Amino acid sequence: MLRARIAVFVSGGGTNLQALLDAEKDGKIPHGEIVLVVSGNAGAYALERASNAGVETAVVQKKDFPSQSAYENALIDVLTQKGIDLIILAGFMTILSADFTSRYPERIINVHPALIPSFCGEGYYGLRVHEAALKYGVKVTGATVHFVNEIPDGGRIILQKAVEVFEDDTPQTLQKRVMCQAEWILLPEAAELVSEKIVRSR
């Protein structure tokens, strides 16, 4: 069967990448195949996770390039060489420009650790999202997988899942629960949904 060729973009520990690799191994992404992991950080543990799974890796660091366009051209070269159909941002900490995202319409997806449109947009990433949720006093939070466009967290929503907030939560405990109960479930589901659509459009 034809499968969509997937590149996963990472910057850190790679827990969302691991969820994707495990889901693929368990047959939960039958229409997609992770063929490349691209890291914006040479020291990311996610690279080790990729190597352990036998997936090819590439390191493309923004700081190594004189401009955003030079950096993004290097990314495009890597993606083109591998014939990538779908890009998954899994804890990727670099904002991509409209020039880049417009090349891959509805072919880039991202997981955000809140229920968009709450606690999203520029500046909302990592623990900051959970700190904001707790400060606001919400009783329910969650995760969202969405398409990526030129607006941070602004693309069309693919899937969402709610997660309960507890009275004694810290940003760290809430982050862990949102990952376990929402992010690690939604991201493989969305990867399969979009991969199947890509395969069927051929």
**Band (108; pLDDT cuts 50, 70, 90):** very high
Is pLDDT at 46 greater than 90 in this prediction? yes
φ/ψ (deg, to 5) at 165:
-105, 135
How many domains in the chain? 1
Which residues on adjacent β-strands are paired with residue 147?
109
- 12, two tokens: 């850190």
Q: Which domain holds residue 146?
A: 4-200
pLDDT at 51: 97
pLDDT at 1: 78
φ/ψ (deg, to 5) at 14:
80, 30
**DSSP label at residue 67:** S
- Per residue in 120-140, pLDDT (tens digit) is 998 999 999 999 999 999 999
Handedness of CA 95, 63, 65, 109 (dihedral sign): negative
CB neighbour list of residue 61: distance below 8 Å, 6 or more residues apart = 40, 41, 42
Gap between the Cα atoms of 200 and 195, Å rounded:
9
- CA torsion, points 1, 27, 114, 166, in degrees to nearest 10? 170
Residue numbers annotated as active site: 112
- Per residue in 148-180, pLDDT (tens digit) is 998 999 999 999 999 999 999 999 999 999 999
Q: What is the CATH classification number for the domain harbouring 59?
A: 3.40.50.170
CB neighbour list of residue 182: distance below 8 Å, 6 or more residues apart = 113, 142, 143, 161, 162, 163
pTM confidence score: 0.96
- 194, two tokens: 């979009």
